[in-house]
Amino acid sequence: MSEPGSPVLASRTRSKAWTAYSADPLSVIGLVIVVAIVGLAIFAPFVTPYPDHVGPTGDFAAMNAAPSADFWFGTDVIGRDLFTRIIYGYRLSLIMAIVVLAIATPIGVIVGLVAGYKGGWTDYILMRITDVFLAVPPLVLAMAIMGFLEPTLLNGMLAITAMWWPWYARLIYNVTRAEAQEGYVLAAETVGASTAHILFREILPNCWPSILTKMTLDIGFVILMASSLSFLGLGVQPPTPDLGSMVADGAKYMPDAWWLTVFPAIAILLVVLGFNLVGDGLREAFEAES
Amino acid sequence: MASNTLQKPVLAIRGLRLAFGDRRHPTPVLHGISMHIRPGEKVALVGESGSGKSVTARLAMGLLQDQKRVHVSGSIFFDGIDAAKGGPEIARRRGNRVAMIFQDPTSALNPTFKIRGQFRDVLRSGDRSISNDEADLRAEAALAEVSIPDPKRALDSYAFQLSGGMNQRVMIAMALANRPQLLIADEPGTALDVTVQAQTLNLMHELTEKTGTSVLLISHNLGVVREFADRVYVIYRGRIVEHGTTAQLFNDPRHPYTRALLAAIPKISGGGLPDLPERSPEFESPLIVHEGCGEPTEAFA
Amino acid sequence: MANILRSLLHRLGAALIVLIGISMLIFAIARVMPGDPARIALGPNATAEQVAALRLERHLDASLPVQYFEFVKSLARGDLGTSLYTNRPVTTDIAQFLPATLELVLVSGILMVLIGLPLGILSAHFRGRFPDHVGRLIALLGVCTPAFVWGVILQLVLGYFWGWFPIEGQLAQSTVAPPLVTGFMLIDTLLAGDGAAFLDALHHLILPSLALAMSGLGQTARLTRSNMNEVYERPYVEMARAYGFPARRIATRYAFRPALIPTLTILGLEFAAMLGNAFLVEKVFGWPGLSRYGVEVILRKDLDAIVGTVLIIAAAFLIVNIIVDILVNVINPRIRLAAGRA
């Protein structure tokens, strides 16, 4: 349409981004979910009713109890409070997601930047390696890596990290390819700026919105992937509380002890949903800002 | 034209206002414009981009009204109905009582369907029960009418396989295929090169003369307007500022904005309208209507 | 035609390179990881002689490139090695378990397309209104929920509580399995002319395939919606409206087809991802596919079986992507005609 939009106030872009973010009720709901889950996870020892149920022992007097005022989400076969274990499961999942992304993102970003800016053989080799990783269903690759490692928390993170970086490489590669043609990059080249300067000082700042959006979405998806692995028995081992293994263990007692499956399952759904809504909201806020 | 003024207008717009945005902070776009077109008349609406000329055309066709955050008041009398509120009545008239030609014909044709299928649907909006064979025959005839050398081949082509000029002819053929009362041409052929643009304007002129179709020409090109239109409305920031016959307006521009426009035409080509670099408070001065060009006063609906 | 064939060959070549890359990757992971594969395979009770014999048989003492060469050599003969878990050739194992997985994935793929695309069209058509909100919610829940969560919830509610669908397996206990021909239960029951068994197999397929389809279905609906919303801004859609084309026809034809082209590529990726997620769903529904085998061989460090399973899945993934590429070319006249002309 040829009509002009409302005037853009350059100095107020921050609040404009927040306005755009808060305009969508779904984004706000997402933020509430995320803040609630992260808050519960951080303060787990103080907010959970039975912090000692994290370990292998529970309350034998209350085995397989249905949800009640004492045990909000019920208890498992050895009498451990499910609510407590789910909150601790969140704690573990969040730590895992943060560690995975803290390693995978820089690797992927550097590969993407270098391949996209250097071009030629560097580009060809790096991106073909990336393609190889992207050509296997993510879960299968992570499973295969777990196949050669002991199923521990650390190895689970390693397996997920190994399959996660290529997605960042691919994303940043595309952005870099486009940005490398922009005037400001050519200008920096003309004045003889070093490659490192151009990559990290000129191009990288323009990638931040894409990276941040993707990382937010990915916290949810890493948790999803980790819980899938542990659901298959290839992740964290008992008695550590893990959402995926809780669902797998609970499924053995369906349908009578339905809460053993349903609550951890909904817990996974909720955390992925929350980060997804926040990520979508962020993307729109960034778009509104630019 | 003198005889025309006695006939009932094909299109009569009264006090049309348009605003975008939410109800509490609407951004006004049209500030109550009025205009009319009589049968067989060619009327131009001239203005810079962003002046509100394109949205006026889309409102007249009822294309904007069903969108969210669009607020319309005033009236648009066309073919016995008031189209200002949009709705099914005007929707039913689109493609047969009123048709539209777009700025870039190639992007206005669907890239994933052949011309044939799209032409069939155009004819179907005039005659719901038309058979495919019958539609194809009529489409071929319509394409022949716009001097397309091999109509069958054109029908079996995708828009991206034809030249811009060809697509413009196809659009004209589609627009006039159902013999509409009113043809709205939104910057026709601006995306094409100047010769092709001139050819298609001539063609449009010729055919609408023949069919007696009224034309509303939306344009920022004063050269085209002078060639093509009988009467001209000049629009500036959502208000009509001057209205007169083409001769009156070009020979005796009275509104400061119109004068500035005419003064800014490149002398040699007489082509496009350069965006005026500054806004002058003078441009906001009230509407000037030339002799014999008043809005009709009869009741329409 | 010759050009389409040539571009197909080109794609197959590229896929082959990626496949070689994958085999090297998996091979490298398998051999570089700590631990003696032979020792792991034979278990702690095996004698040193037994371990040495196995190392010799599997060329485990040779250098990595030599090992890889031996591996490729046998691969070229269609030999993926022998599973230490089942003591059978890996190809035999895969041939036994793959059809059930493929059947599940194919049916899920069909559900993904049949539900996801219309959902996206409805959302775009009713943008900002009630059907759009419902469509977006379903899509969002689909994307955000792991397949096994859908599995257990569908199983609990529709299987256990309401009893509409069977809980587990491919066939009811009372149904006689048809003679094994293709391994696809739906096809084999039809070949056997057993209508009741066919319906039973279909009945068993619904919940697992729906659970598996949800994520791709959500993604499909989301993408269709956003691509169509973008297409709705294009001049040719305004033209269709200006010429009085019925709104429903615009939604299902004139806006849908251009929006489908970018959606298809992602559709292929989602379909391929199902090959992985099938492992989760199969575990929930006790489905006799590759899942149990895959997890079992992974837990037992059964190298050949792991490499073979991953390679087969990667190959299936690549084939799906090639098919999608071809479909995109067929649907997009611009590419199709360019290929024909050049």
What per-residue confidence (pLDDT) applies to A195? 85
Lowest mean per-residue pLDDT among A86-95, C130-139, C180-189: C180-189
Task: State the Cα–Cα distance between residues B28 and A8, nearest whole angstrom.
Answer: 16
What per-residue confidence (pLDDT) applies to B56? 94
C279/A261 touch (CB, cutoff 8 Å), yes or no: no
The helix, strand and coil proportions of chain C, stated in percent and rounded to the nearest 5, come to 75, 0, 20
CB atoms < 10 A from the CB of C196, how many? 12
Task: Name the range with the highest mean pLDDT among A115-119, B129-133, B220-224, C193-197.
Answer: B129-133
* Over residues A241-257, mean pLDDT: 84
CA proximity to C239, closest of A66, A210, B99 = B99
Residues of A in contact with B50 (CB under 8 A): 2-4
Inform me whether the pLDDT recorded for A10 exceeds 50: no
pLDDT one-digit tens code per residue, C131-169: 988 998 899 999 989 999 999 999 988 888 888 888 888
What per-residue confidence (pLDDT) applies to A2? 37
| Burial class of residue B265, CB neighbours in 10 A (0-12, 13-18, 19+) | middle
pLDDT one-digit tens code per residue, A120-132: 888 888 888 888 8
- Name the minimum distance, in Å, from the CA of B90 to any CA of chain C: 9
In chain B, the residue whose alpha carbon lies closest to the alpha carbon of C235 is B108
Contact residues for C238 (Cβ-Cβ < 8 A; gap 6+): B63, B102, B108
pLDDT one-digit tens code per residue, A41-74: 888 788 777 777 777 776 666 677 777 777 677 7
CA proximity to A247, closest of A272, A227, A264 = A264
What per-residue confidence (pLDDT) applies to A237? 78
Task: State the Cα–Cα distance between residues B83 and B97, nearest whole angstrom.
Answer: 13
Residue A266's pLDDT band, with cuts at 50, 70 and 90, is: very high
Q: Which of A132, A149, A269 sits opposite C149 (nearest CB)?
A: A269
- Which residues of chain B fall short of a pLDDT of 50? 1-4, 267-270, 301
Inform me whether the pLDDT recorded for C342 exceeds 70: no
Residue A8's pLDDT band, with cuts at 50, 70 and 90, is: very low
Kindly provide the residue ranges of all beta strands, DSSP E only, lying in A78-120, ordered along the sequence. Answer: none
Asked if the peptide bond before residue A45 counts as cis, ω within 30 degrees of 0, the response is: no
Q: Does C338 or A114 have the greater pLDDT score?
A: A114
Pairing type for strands B42-46 and B231-236 reads: parallel
pTM of the model: 0.82
Secondary structure, 3-state, A164-189: HHHHHHHHHHHHHHHHCCCHHHHHHH
The label of the residue with tokens 């992507």 reads C321
Lowest mean per-residue pLDDT among A80-94, A98-112, C199-213: A80-94
* Over residues A84-95, mean pLDDT: 89
Task: State the Cα–Cα distance between residues B37 and B228, nearest whole angstrom.
Answer: 15
Walk across the sheet containing B11-20 and list its strands.
B27-37, B11-20, B70-78, B81-82
The label of the residue with tokens 């929350």 reads A274
What per-residue confidence (pLDDT) applies to A9? 42
Task: State the Cα–Cα distance between residues B241 and A47, nearest whole angstrom.
Answer: 70
pLDDT one-digit tens code per residue, C66-82: 888 888 888 888 888 88
C243/B110 touch (CB, cutoff 8 Å), yes or no: no
Tell me the pLDDT of chain A averaged across its residues. Answer: 82
What per-residue confidence (pLDDT) applies to B3? 45
DSSP helix/strand/coil, A233: coil
DSSP helix/strand/coil, A30: helix
In chain A, the residue whose alpha carbon lies closest to the alpha carbon of B18 is A3
Q: Does B119 touch chain C (CB under 8 A)?
A: no
Asked if the peptide bond before residue A106 counts as cis, ω within 30 degrees of 0, the response is: no
Residue A70, amino acid: D
Residues of C in contact with B100 (CB under 8 A): 239, 242-243
CA proximity to C302, closest of C75, C79, C86, C98 = C86
Tell me the pLDDT of chain C averaged across its residues. Answer: 84
What subunits make at least 3 CB pairs under 8 angstroms with A? B, C
Q: Does C297 or A148 have the greater pLDDT score?
A: C297
What per-residue confidence (pLDDT) applies to C33? 66
Tokens standing for B222? Answer: 């004063």
Task: State the Cα–Cα distance between residues A165 and B11, nearest whole angstrom.
Answer: 62
Task: State the Cα–Cα distance between residues C304 and C58, nearest whole angstrom.
Answer: 10
